[in-house]
Structure 1
Amino acid sequence: MSVKEAGSSGRREQAAYHLHIYPQLSTTESQASCRVTATKDSTTSDVIKDAIASLRLDGTKCYVLVEVKESGGEEWVLDANDSPVHRVLLWPRRAQDEHPQEDGYYFLLQERNADGTIKYVHMQLVAQATATRRLVERGLLPRQQADFDDLCNLPELTEANLLKNLKHRFLQQKIYTYAGSILVAINPFKFLPIYNPKYVKMYENQQLGKLEPHVFALADVAYYTMLRKRVNQCIVISGESGSGKTQSTNFLIHCLTALSQKGYASGVERTILGAGPVLEVSREAVCLWKGAFV
């Protein structure tokens, strides 16, 4: 979202912003993105009118502006009187200038049906993608994936391909990758917004591998397997010093307590987490004790 100074007669000059709009319309409409100039006072209706004119769309149809955040994880239909510029100013700095779609924060222009519902054209694309994925899984089409969320699916299992796949996913902030039923985690050394209650709910009672790899997926499988089979479950966390074992443990405990307490906060999680440092000190003491006799 680039900024420039714009003046108007009879009122103080104010900054103008360039908003990039991505149309998601029927195949008969133009699919090229457009750039609309707006100020903080510009409403959603103003931005839609400018986008319609820029894209040369049918003005007799009704359109809505949708704010997409977190790569499609959240979609909000803006009201007619909302300020899109105010929305953009709340985005991460990297997404404010040009807000390309790969950054996960952008605006969609969609068409509204006569009954007021939104015409989700992308549902057709999702159905096509699902059909294509099934053909690939059956071996009738070659795999064209940029990366694999399960290392067992690599077409050629070599150390170079394995590291290349992990690096490619890591650069997309995908720090988790499966290796069968094993979860490989790479420490990002920063906070990622993928551990909130929404993700706990999303992975609840889901088959392992059905969704994107996540530490919550393992916690969920262990929890529901314990309930179903009435047998104790064990999750082994292994890694080098500084790899993030303690943090992964905290995430597992957070998810397990959330599942067992049905989302309600309690002292159970705090009690378990509070015992973590004591257990770690004990482990280090045992290692030193064993090392003294080597």
Structure 2
Amino acid sequence: MSVHDVGGRRRFEDSEFTLRIYPGNIAEGTIYCPVTARKNTTAAEVIEHVIDKLQLERTKLYVLAEVKEFGGEEWILNPTDCPVQRMMLWPRMALENRFCGEDYRFLLREKNLDGSIHYGNLQMWLRVTEERRHLVERGFLPQPLQKDHDDLCNLPDLNEKTLLDNLRSRFKQEKIYTYVGSILIVINPFQFLPIYNPKYVKMYDNHQLGKLEPHIYAVADVAYHAMLQRRQNQCIVISGESGSGKTQSTNFLIHHLTALSQKGFASGVEQIILGAGPVLEVSAG
């Protein structure tokens, strides 16, 4: 690794991003509140910025929610979660159109004393959702994308059709990884996707499986930290037909493992292991 590489990573860590936080009924008349944040900026810090900008009541409790479709399920972020990291996992189309689309956004919600989320005028929200549904049915608005599941175990109706439809929907969004519990399904895209750079190596470092979008780095990370904590050998089984991408998946696993073991510094270990890969495959064949 060169000095230039280290400097480039530092510049990325210091890069600023603009998050658009939608307060809804909490601040009527405000469509969204722009907040400048970095990759390590927490949800608690973002909420603090929104409170200052919109001059909200500090006696109330607020949480930040991530929603990935209009009227869809909201994922409440923990105070220590980093919104920029979650935004970088959105599909490329969502990132390119995030300023005009209605999907993939961050919402500011008020938290009740009993821990529940206060949604304000729920009847108005339902009415707007119903009106949008009618407009979609009449062809005035595009059909919403079918909600997919990043873990097939969460499918409400698990059968061959729903399984394949879910994988097809994710593949069209360039989501080639899908979990089945702790098992990772990979669909070969036959093209390079920009999801294997140092940003993703650090993003999946020491994260619980399933907390972030499915990725082969997550599998490697779980095995690596399980080895350190339990002091036992770990095994990752890679299976698939010829041309399915087993060799490339092995390379990604080795890349992540060596990056973790070397703390980001380059060494000859990775190249030695990668060079032995073809020999081992021939022997196994």
Greater per-residue strand proportion: 1
What residue is the counterpart of 1:56 in the other structure?
A: none
Give the structure 2 partner of residue 184 of structure 1. Answer: 185
Partner of 1:146: 147
* Aligned residues: CA RMSD: 3.6
- Contact 1:176–1:215 (8 Å) recurs in 2: yes
Question: How many Å apart are 1:236 and its aligned residue?
Answer: 0.1
* Aligned counterparts of 2:233 and 2:254: Cα–Cα separation in 1: 15
1:55-106 C-alpha deviation (Å, 9 max, x unpaired): xxxxxx99xxxxxx999319xxxxxxxxxxxxxxxxxxxxxxxxx9834225
Pairs within 5 Å for 1:1-294: 26-27=23-24, 28-29=28-29, 31=31, 72-73=87-88, 102-106=93-97, 108=99, 122=106, 124=108, 146-284=147-285
TM-score, normalised to structure 1, is 0.54
Summarize the Cα distance change of 1:241–1:196 in structure 2 as closer, same or farther, 3 Å threshold. Answer: same
Q: Residues 158 and 263 (structure 1 numbering): CA distance in 2 closer, same or farther, change over 3 Å?
A: same
Q: Is the 8 A contact 2:188 2:245 kept in 1?
A: yes
Could you tell me whether the CA contact under 8 Å between 1:219 and 1:255 is conserved in 2? Answer: yes
Deviations 1:154-194 (A, max 9, x none): 11110000000000111111100000110000001111111
Question: What is the distance in 1 between the residues matched to 2:199 and 2:183?
Answer: 23
Q: Flag structure 1 segments of 5+ consecutive residues without an equivalent.
A: 1-21, 33-60, 63-68, 75-99, 110-120, 133-143, 285-294
Cα shift at 1:126: 11
1:256 and 1:127 map into 2 onto residues whose CA distance is: 40
What is the number of equivalent residue pairs in this alignment?
182
Q: Tell me, which stretches of 5 or more residues in structure 2 are unaligned?
A: 1-18, 33-52, 55-83, 118-144
Aligned sequence identity (%): 62
Contact 2:23 2:109 in 1 (8 A): no
Distance across 1 between alignment mates of 2:110 and 2:275? 44
Tell me how far apart the structure 2 counterparts of residues 168 and 160 of structure 1 sit (CA, whole Å): 12
TM score, norm. by length of structure 2 = 0.56
Q: Report if the CA contact (8 A) 2:209-2:222 is conserved.
A: yes
Shift >6 Å, 4+ stretches = none
Structure 1 pair 153–205 and aligned structure 2 pair: CA distance change class (3 A) = same
